[in-house]
Amino acid sequence: MIYFVTSNKGKFVEAAAIFGDLVQKDIGYTEIQADTLEEVASFGMNEVAARLKGPVMLEDAGLFVEALQGFPGVYSAYVQKTIGNAGILRLMQGVENRRAYFKSVIAYVDADGEPVMFSGVVHGQIGFEARGSKGFGYDPIFYVGDLSLGEMEITEKNRISHRAKSMTALKGWLASR
Ligand code: IMP
């Protein structure tokens, strides 16, 4: 059993499809303002590990849009809450380069071990419209091939996603110990 500290049900469902024995813990932690997802995850993990004993992981993720110099990046949660997908589509009006990627950084620690981190990236395109209601967050405006992530079933998203990559890396690392 592993605890996954998150308030995001969408993240949890995707992660649970990769790790059978996962328990969601919605206990909150400080998300510092920093330049990288790694710093945010690492700071959060130090706080969480002091409060929760047992194998535990957390994740910090973000959307990085090439034409916007990586925005919203580490500010993805705030931007999603404020201008949302419609705001990103507006910022991208008339922009030809639609390339973007999602990155997931997970931090994991055993009851008494050192924290470890794994990351995963998926490359895609910001679409011209939001499509699909299956995922969460930026999924409806992020396209891989002809489909937005919002149009994909969890099993399809988990074949390609940033989160599936970081979590599969952790799973492999755990299995190899
Ligand atoms: P955080 O990792 O919870 O800080 O997520 C940052 C922001 O990116 C939130 O608004 C999430 O909804 C969004 N986000 C994270 N992962 C995904 C994803 O897989 N698809 C779409 N949006 C995501």
The reported pLDDT for the residue numbered 91 is: 98
Average pLDDT over residues 108-132: 95
The reported pLDDT for the residue numbered 135 is: 94
- Contact yes or no for 104/120 (Cβ under 8 A): yes
- Contact yes or no for 60/41 (Cβ under 8 A): yes
Query: Which tens digit of pLDDT belongs to each residue from 36-90?
Result: 999 999 999 999 999 998 899 999 999 999 999 999 999 999 999 999 999 999 9
Is 110 catalytic? The answer is no
63, 123, 154, 161: which to mutate for ligand 1, most atoms within 8 A of CB?
63
For ligand 1, atom 14: residue with the closest CA? 137
Average pLDDT over residues 24-33: 96
- Omega prior to 72 cis, within 30 of 0: yes
For residues 33 and 123, give the distance between their C-alpha atoms in angstroms, rounded to a whole number. Answer: 24
Q: 49 in ligand 1 pocket by Cβ < 6 Å?
A: no
CATH number of the domain to which 7 belongs: 3.90.950.10
Provide the domain count of the chain.
1
Q: Tokens 């979590």 label which residue?
A: 167
> Looking at the predicted structure, is the pLDDT value of residue 112 above 90?
no
- Structural domain including 101 reads 2-175
Q: Global pTM?
A: 0.97
Query: Which tens digit of pLDDT belongs to each residue from 148-162?
Result: 999 999 999 999 999
Q: Tokens 């997802």 label which residue?
A: 37
